[in-house]
Chains A and B, each alone.
Chain A
Amino acid sequence: MSDSSAITHGAPEAAGHHAHPPYLRHHFESVEQQADTTNFAMWLFLLTEIMFFGGLFTAYLIYRNWYYPAFVAASHQLSIPLGGLNTLLLITSSFTMAMGVWCAEMRKKSGLVLCLILTFILGMGFLGIKTIEYGEKIEKHHVPGFHYSLNSFLNPDSDEAAKAAGDKPLALDMARHTEVYFSLYFAMTGMHALHMIIGISILGYMIYRAQAGAYTEGHVTFVENFGLYWHFVDIVWIFLFPLLYLISRHQ
C-alpha cells in the first residue's frame, strides 16, 4: 500500500489522444494508480464491515458471559454436521475464488469462468444448508418473537438434540434467556447470509462478464477486489461457527 504511486509521472495527454486501455478511468494517471486505489478502497470497506459485525459480536460476548447455561443449551440445538459442512463449503469456495483470481491474472478465461462457477455453486450450497437449518428452527419454534417455545430447554428429554447432548433441564428464568441466544443467532447468521447473497449475485454478474473476456485482458482489479470481499465473508463465518455452534462441546 505504498503511496509512491500517488506521485505519478503522468504526462499531460493531448486532447483526443487515448493511448491507454479503455478501462482506465480518466481521473487516474495510470493503470497502476487505478488498481492500487481501488484495492485500498476495498480493504477500507472491509474495515467498516468489521466494525459493523463488531457490534453484534460485542452483544454476543456480553450475553454469553451473563447467561452461559442458556447459551450452552441453545447452542446444542444447532447441528454440528451441517455447520461443519457449511464451513467446509465456504473454505473450499475461498480456494476456488483464489484460483479464479490467479486464472484472471494468468489470462486463462475458461479457468476463470470454471472457478467462478464453482464458487457460485459452493456459495449456493451454503445458502441451501442454511435454509435447511433455518427451517428446522422454524419447525421447533425456536424463532424469537414467533411463538417461541421453551419446551426443549425445560424438558430436554423431549428434544432429540438436547437429549443427545445430555442436557439437564434449565430453570425457567434461565430458559427464557435462550431467546436472546437465538436473536443473536439469527441476527449474526442472517447478516452473514445477506452478505453471501450479495456476493453470489455479484458472482453471477462476474461469470457473465468473464465469459465475455472482461477480466482476462489485464484488467483484473474487479476480480481481485471481489476476492477480498469473498474471503472476508468466509472469515466472518469462521468466527461465527465456533462461537455459535461449538459452545461447551468438549464435555
Chain B
Amino acid sequence: MSHISPVLWQFLVKWMTDFSLFPPEASKIAPQMDALYFFMVLVSLIGLTIVILLVTTFSILYNKERHPVAVQVEGSTLLEATWTIIPLGLFLVMFVWGALIYFRVYNPPANSMNIYVVGKQWMWKAEHPGGQHEINSLHIPTGRAIQLTLISQDVFHSFSIPAFRVKREAIPGRYTTVWFEPTVPGTYHLFCTQYCGTEHSHMIGDIVVLTPKDYQKWLNESTSGMSLAQNGERLFASLSCAACHNARPDARGPSLANVYGAKLALSNGGTVLADDAYLREAILSPSQHVTQGYAPIMPTYQGQVSEEGVIALVEYIKNLNSDYRVQQTTNTTDLLPEGEGKAVPAATAPVKPGMVKQ
C-alpha cells in the first residue's frame, strides 16, 4: 500500500502520528506490517458496518408497530455458506500475509550486525560487539540490518520497539533473536512489555537511531576499550578452557576455531548446527552436547559465569578462526588436573621456549 500512493500514505501516517493516534514508522518492516494492519482495519470496518446496517435496517423495517406478525424463516443454506466461506477466506488471506511478515521479522539476513541484549529486573543491558555497553538505550545506525540476540538473567521480559513494530521475549535460559533495519533517525520508545515485577513500568529506555556518520562518531566516543570478543578471550583463559580446547592432537576437547556455523556430529549419533544457542548450551550443560570422538568430561560452568560472560565467550568463539593465540598464550600441561594423563606438546606446535616449564 505504501507503493500505491506514497504521498497519501505518508500524509495519513504523519497526521495520525502527530495526533498520537499511531506510532511513527521507523523501520523497513513497519510500513509492511502497517499495510496488513490497515487492510484488517478496513475489512473489520466493512464487516462491522454490514452487521450494524443489517441490524438497524431490520429493527426499523420489522419493528412491531410496522410488522406485527413475524414470518417464521427456517434458515438458508446459501447464506450459511456465504457467511462461512467469505470470512474464512478473508481470515486465511490475513493469515498467509501475516505469516510472511512474521517469518520476515524473525529470520535475520546473513549480513546483519549482531547486538546482544541482556534483560534483568529492571533494566536492559546492550552489548555491542565493539565492546560498547549501554543501559536502557540502544544506539543504532540507519540503513543496516541489525539483529538483537536477547536473553534474560532472571524472569521473562520482552524487548519492544513500537516504532519499529518489533517485539521479542527475553527468556531465562536461552537466546531469542529479532532483527530490524532502522530507516529514520530519531529517538524512539523502548518498553519492556512482559510483566516482570515491581519496576516493570520503569524498565523503559530510548532507541537512538543515528545516521551512519553519527553512529560512527558515537562508536568512537563510547568505546570502553575491549571488544566483546577480547573480553571473551580473557574469560577463555581465566576459566582454563584451553586446558582441553587447545587443538593439540591429543587434546581432550575439540578445537573451537571455525566451529561457529559448522555442523557438528554429536556422540549420541545426531548432528547439530553450532549456533549461538548451541555454544551457550555447550558451556552451561555440556554433557548433553558432547562432540563425537570425545569423552563427556567437560564440567559445567553454570553458576561460574554470568550471562554477560557467556555472551563474551560466545562472541569470542564466533570470531575464532585459528588456534594460534590459544596455543601461544597458554601452557596446557600445567592446567590439567594431576594424574589425568598430561598432554605432551606436539613437535609441530610452535611453542616459545620461555613459556614451557621444565
Contacts and interface: CB of A to CB of B under 8 A. Distances in A.
Q: Do chains A and B stick together as partners?
A: yes
Interface of A: 66-67, 69, 170-174
B276 to A, nearest CB: 19
Nearest to B300: A173
9 contacts: A69-B287, A171-B286, A171-B297, A171-B298, A173-B284, A173-B287, A173-B300, A174-B285, A174-B287
Interface of B: 284-288, 296-300, 302
A69 B296 CA distance: 12
A170 B285 CA distance: 12
A17 B199 CA distance: 70
Given A171-B300, A173-B300, 18 more contacts: A66-B288, A67-B288, A69-B287, A170-B287, A171-B286, A171-B287, A171-B296, A171-B297, A172-B287, A172-B299, A173-B284, A173-B286, A173-B287, A173-B288, A173-B302, A174-B285, A174-B287, A174-B288
List the 9 closest A-B pairs by CB distance, nearest first: A171-B287, A173-B300, A173-B285, A174-B287, A172-B300, A173-B287, A171-B296, A173-B302, A172-B299
Contacts of B299: 171-172
Nearest to B290: A171
Contacts of A174: 285, 287-288
Nearest to B298: A171
Nearest to B301: A173
A173 B297 CA distance: 11
B173 to A, nearest CB: 12
A171 B302 CA distance: 13
B253 to A, nearest CB: 14
Contacts of B288: 66-67, 173-174
A176 to B, nearest CB: 8
Contacts of A66: 288
Nearest to A175: B287
A172 B299 CA distance: 7
A170 B297 CA distance: 10
A153 to B, nearest CB: 12
Contacts of B296: 171
Nearest to B285: A173
B337 to A, nearest CB: 15
A71 to B, nearest CB: 13
A238 B300 CA distance: 37
A172 B288 CA distance: 11
A67 B288 CA distance: 8
A19 to B, nearest CB: 43
Contacts of A67: 288
A69 B268 CA distance: 12
Nearest to A69: B287
Nearest to A70: B287
Contacts of A170: 287
Nearest to A177: B285
**Which of A69, A170, A171, A174 is the most central at the interface, judged by chain B CB atoms within 10 Å of its CB?**
A171
A174 B288 CA distance: 8
**Which of B286, B288, B296 is the most central at the interface, judged by chain A CB atoms within 10 Å of its CB?**
B288
Nearest to A168: B296
A47 to B, nearest CB: 31
B326 to A, nearest CB: 24
B345 to A, nearest CB: 28
A170 B286 CA distance: 12
A173 B173 CA distance: 14
A170 to B, nearest CB: 7
Nearest to B288: A174
